[in-house]
Structure 1
Amino acid sequence: MFLGGFTLAEWFVLVQHELLLFAAAFFALGMIDELALDCLYAWFRLTGRIRTQRVDERSLAEPRSLAGRAVVFIPAWQEAAVIGPTLTHMLDVWRQDELVVYVGCYRNDPATMAAVMASVRGDPRVRLVVHDRKGPTSKADCLNRIYLAMAEDEQRTGADFRMVVQHDAEDMVDPAALDLLDAALWHAHFVQLPVIALPQKHSAWIGSHYADEFAESHGKALVVRDALGAAIPGAGVGCAIARGALARLADRQGGKPFAEESLTEDYELGLKVAQDGGTGRFLRVRTLDGRLIATRSYFSARLEAAVRQKTRWMHGIALQGWDRLGWGREPVELWMQLRDRRGPLASILLVIAYLLVCLLSVGMVLQQAGIVTPPPATALLSALLLLNVGGLMLRLFVRACFTAREFGWRQGLLAIPRILVSNVIAIMAGRRALTAYVGTLRGAPVVWDKTEHRDHPLLAQAAGEGA
């Protein structure tokens, strides 16, 4: 069969060749981007610009007074399974009298409210804020309700808070984190501590692939971002914002500091502080025994939940962020925004890459059968393929190293095949994110598409299950 002078097999090989050139070119750009970040990280480490501080945890044995009153915001919707351990641990290790914990619940979620009241054991530092709307609304809406309750308390008592700390209902805080955030806010308006996604014995692939991604992102990417002086995005947990900076955001947004129309209001928070002229910092600090001062948590262990979670991240950061935050003018800020928003394009390229694997297999069969002769590889294509292969090997090595640094060499080795899991989830999330984005453009409401949490690090420790 001939089409335009070519047989169907020849057209197949030609399309395969052009598709390979297209994918190789864009993957090469991604590899160069990651190589630049790797080189900056290595250079900053060698020159001492990036240095992990150490603190003596024995000095924190007795709680020190904070520089001012501190408040923790915890929005909760259907979190009865995990909110109790979170609050119990937080109140035990953060014993400062200046601390007040606000937990936002919904009036149609009695199970979560009951779990909160049972876990606080009458501790006067906890306040349960019941939303006057039925849940779920959006996470930002719940946070704004908590903010309103805090502002009303400040007005009634005449005493203002100094910092606002954000956490989720499933977090396990570090005993030294509150003192560290309190001290850091003398020199910044927004501070983010690392997040550790713990590997899961019962979900060695889906749940544990988060451990690899966060180990590299919060061990390298955000560290370089901080060293370059770029704006630090919020993770929604383990972050603190100065009360005055939060008030300025509220004044700009009609009394609501958290963007209710955004799916990733936590990500936007740190960037908006920078846009207002504030300073953001990302801090990696270890205790003398090597423990990273970070927020620890279990992430989604089921495929459907992981896809939904990453759909929200991709939709909010890559697609909504383009519309809502625009593009920076400084080269460093523009670079970081391009990295943040490459998710949908990366998903498309991954689909093409896996499709090419199938096409190349078919092409080899046609070639062996003598049906078609493939066109010779050009010097450009050969160079691109060589760059991609070398870049892939480096990516696997770097991912394994950062995972091994936090969780040991066994998890480091597992991080290599888990990249395939990350890619599959990214492809599925990319398709859903694009569909959801089109829906919001047509007026679909933003709702709290939260992830169900069943496991908590504190419960795993009590059961004798390590990470």
Structure 2
Amino acid sequence: MGVKPLGAGTAALLVAVHHEILLFAAVGLAIGGLNDLLIDIFYFGRKAWRDIVIYARHQRMTGPELPHSRRPGKIAVFVPAWQESNVIAAMLNHARDSWGEARYRIFVGVYPNDDATIDAVANVACDATWLTLCINDRAGPTTKADCLNLLWRAMRAEEEQGDFRYKAIILHDAEDVVHADEIRLFDFMIDRFDLVQLPVLPLRGRGGWWRRAIADHYGDEFAESHGKLLSVREALGASVPSAGVACAFERDMLAALASDEATGPFDPGLLTEDYEAGLRIRDMGGRSAFVRMRDAYGNIIATREFFPDSIDAAVRQKARWTIGIALAGWDRLGWRGGPAEFWMRLRDRRAVLAALVLFAAYLTLVLWATLALLALVIPFPARPLSPALTGLLWFNLFLMLWRMAMRFLFVARAYGLRAGLGAVPRTLIANYIGILAARRAIFLYLRSLAGQPLRWDKTQHRFPDLKTDP
């Protein structure tokens, strides 16, 4: 007789807890869903206006039709590399073959305790007039920003020796598959803008279905972010954050970000120096552009690369992004700018709260199942949902279906129908990784506040076989 009241009391407590968590999750999901819905409305409204007003009279520009720059200049390409011996040579050789006789020089930053990467770059550089190997005077890993500053100093030394100035600086990673048209596109666009970002298209995953699904969820997210969100940001006059690859900075504007130009424009204590640079350029009155343009073959001029295909690597990478954007960015960059910029920064910094809301939503499902099982053995009164909460849940169902439709649409446009259909169930994997990444980011950030320095927590990369990989 003593067990039943205890069981009933426990069940009643679970009912109350379930209701409160459900209310929190429902409100949080509704706010996030409305936020995304507004982005969709802006995007499709802008697209319709451009199709009717602009492209009804003017043909869309493509790579072959792009005019040459009125003031052509030499382009510096920065490639920071820590433990990249398995990809860096292939990346550099592909860039050389793709860019041909374009006016550029690639600066590769390596570390003295990474002999394999030094040797890989040196083997390419031995007969290359377009490549400079830069070895850090500190053992690695430091941070990517610290390595970029090393390349900045090497670039300035070459400028002083040759009595000239580079026109722009392009950022790339050691695993990037660059596009043949990007040097000419950047050379033209930097005449008008201080930061130019091209799309990033993750390559589809390889291997077993689980590894493919983890890798492909990056493609799902970039298909929406670089197929829709950045276009909306630019249209609203908000900042266009750099993705760290396939982006170009006007040389003098990048120099203006530095407290000491001789040292470098990037803060070596940051993990997302590229993102912050984009926002700071906006704060300084600079102009940014996100450019989606097709080449002669109808393909988007973009950078392609493999992304992590294991849970551990994906969590570490996304935790680094969360620290730099959602946590450190809040402290360092504040909320400057008008309403559109405030809105976009709020979206950028919602990762931790969004992960908490998603965790609460999944927890409500677990509690609901637990209560359903308890109801089979312990009679207890259920707590009916209020009409307001019921209506909110139906509204969230609509937002979820809309979100799934948008994910399918943009992924199918970027990768095909089959990938679009697979993007819907892959949302569960993305949510799982996002929750784990937010947890890791919080602990790492708290440690940094206690004095433990942040480090380049990079993931292992691989370069595609360009004969077989799309």
Separation in structure 2 between the aligned mates of residue 83 and residue 335 of structure 1, nearest angstrom: 38
Which of these residues, 120, 123, 135, is aligned with residue 130 of structure 1?
Answer: 135
Deviation at 1:366, TM superposition (A): 3.4
Matching residue of 2:255 = 247
Amino acid at match of 1:145: L
Matches within 5 A, 1:404-415: 404-415=412-423
Separation in structure 2 between the aligned mates of residue 112 and residue 367 of structure 1, nearest angstrom: 62
Matching residue of 1:78 = 83
Inter-CA distance 92–122: structure 2 relative to 1 (3 Å threshold) = same
SS at match of 1:7: helix
Inter-CA distance 51–378: structure 2 relative to 1 (3 Å threshold) = farther
Matching residue of 1:39 = 41
Deviation at 1:96, TM superposition (A): 3.3
Matching residue of 2:113 = 108
SS at match of 1:204: helix
Inter-CA distance 311–328: structure 2 relative to 1 (3 Å threshold) = same
- Give the share of equivalent positions with the same residue, in percent: 42
Matching residue of 2:294 = 286
Identify the range of structure 1 (19-28 vs 42-51) with the bigger mean alpha-carbon deviation.
42-51
Matching residue of 2:463 = 456
Moved over 4 A (4+): 1-4, 49-60, 63-66
User: Is the 1:65–1:96 Cα contact (8 Å) retained in structure 2?
Assistant: no
Separation in structure 2 between the aligned mates of residue 232 and residue 57 of structure 1, nearest angstrom: 22
Matches within 5 A, 1:270-309: 270-309=278-317
Deviation at 1:56, TM superposition (A): 4.7
Separation in structure 2 between the aligned mates of residue 39 and residue 289 of structure 1, nearest angstrom: 31
Separation in structure 2 between the aligned mates of residue 286 and residue 120 of structure 1, nearest angstrom: 32
Matches within 5 A, 1:180-329: 180-202=185-207, 203-251=211-259, 255-329=263-337
Separation in structure 1 between the aligned mates of residue 29 and residue 409 of structure 2, nearest angstrom: 22
Matching residue of 2:9 = 7
User: Is the 2:197–2:243 Cα contact (8 Å) retained in structure 1?
Assistant: yes
Aligned residue pair count? 460
Deviation at 1:404, TM superposition (A): 0.7
User: Is the 2:125–2:133 Cα contact (8 Å) retained in structure 1?
Assistant: no
Can you list the C-alpha shifts for 1:373-429, whole angstroms capped at 9, x where unaligned? Answer: 222211210111011111111111111111111111111111111101101101111
Separation in structure 2 between the aligned mates of residue 66 and residue 291 of structure 1, nearest angstrom: 27
Structure 1, unpaired ranges of 5+: none
Separation in structure 2 between the aligned mates of residue 357 and residue 232 of structure 1, nearest angstrom: 37
Separation in structure 2 between the aligned mates of residue 7 and residue 24 of structure 1, nearest angstrom: 26
User: Is the 2:102–2:183 Cα contact (8 Å) retained in structure 1?
Assistant: no
Inter-CA distance 97–199: structure 2 relative to 1 (3 Å threshold) = closer
Separation in structure 2 between the aligned mates of residue 292 and residue 164 of structure 1, nearest angstrom: 21
Matching residue of 1:436 = 444
Identify the range of structure 1 (379-388 vs 359-368) with the bigger mean alpha-carbon deviation.
359-368
Separation in structure 1 between the aligned mates of residue 242 and residue 337 of structure 2, nearest angstrom: 21
The CA RMSD over aligned residues, in Å, is 2.3
Structure 2, unpaired ranges of 5+: none
Deviation at 1:456, TM superposition (A): 1.2
Identify the range of structure 1 (416-425 vs 202-211) with the bigger mean alpha-carbon deviation.
202-211
SS at match of 1:250: coil
Separation in structure 1 between the aligned mates of residue 262 and residue 324 of structure 2, nearest angstrom: 21
User: Is the 2:196–2:247 Cα contact (8 Å) retained in structure 1?
Assistant: yes
Separation in structure 2 between the aligned mates of residue 227 and residue 352 of structure 1, nearest angstrom: 34
Amino acid at match of 1:42: F
Separation in structure 1 between the aligned mates of residue 344 and residue 70 of structure 2, nearest angstrom: 37
Which of these residues, 382, 394, 400, is aligned with residue 408 of structure 2?
Answer: 400
SS at match of 1:127: strand
1:170 matched to 2:175: yes
Which of these residues, 137, 143, 152, is aligned with residue 147 of structure 1?
Answer: 152
Separation in structure 2 between the aligned mates of residue 334 and residue 322 of structure 1, nearest angstrom: 11
User: Is the 1:54–1:286 Cα contact (8 Å) retained in structure 2?
Assistant: no
Deviation at 1:66, TM superposition (A): 7.4
Separation in structure 2 between the aligned mates of residue 134 and residue 350 of structure 1, nearest angstrom: 40
Separation in structure 2 between the aligned mates of residue 26 and residue 56 of structure 1, nearest angstrom: 42
Amino acid at match of 2:448: T
Amino acid at match of 1:173: V
Identify the range of structure 1 (105-114 vs 231-240) with the bigger mean alpha-carbon deviation.
105-114
Matches within 5 A, 1:30-69: 30-48=32-50, 54-58=60-64, 67-69=72-74
Inter-CA distance 2–30: structure 2 relative to 1 (3 Å threshold) = farther
TM-score, with length taken from structure 1? 0.94
User: Is the 1:66–1:179 Cα contact (8 Å) retained in structure 2?
Assistant: no
Deviation at 1:118, TM superposition (A): 2.4
Separation in structure 1 between the aligned mates of residue 70 and residue 92 of structure 2, nearest angstrom: 20
Separation in structure 2 between the aligned mates of residue 174 and residue 373 of structure 1, nearest angstrom: 64
Matching residue of 1:331 = 339
Deviation at 1:69, TM superposition (A): 1.2
Deviation at 1:247, TM superposition (A): 1.3
SS at match of 2:268: coil
User: Is the 1:166–1:238 Cα contact (8 Å) retained in structure 2?
Assistant: yes
SS at match of 1:200: coil
Separation in structure 1 between the aligned mates of residue 71 and residue 463 of structure 2, nearest angstrom: 28
User: Is the 1:199–1:208 Cα contact (8 Å) retained in structure 2?
Assistant: yes
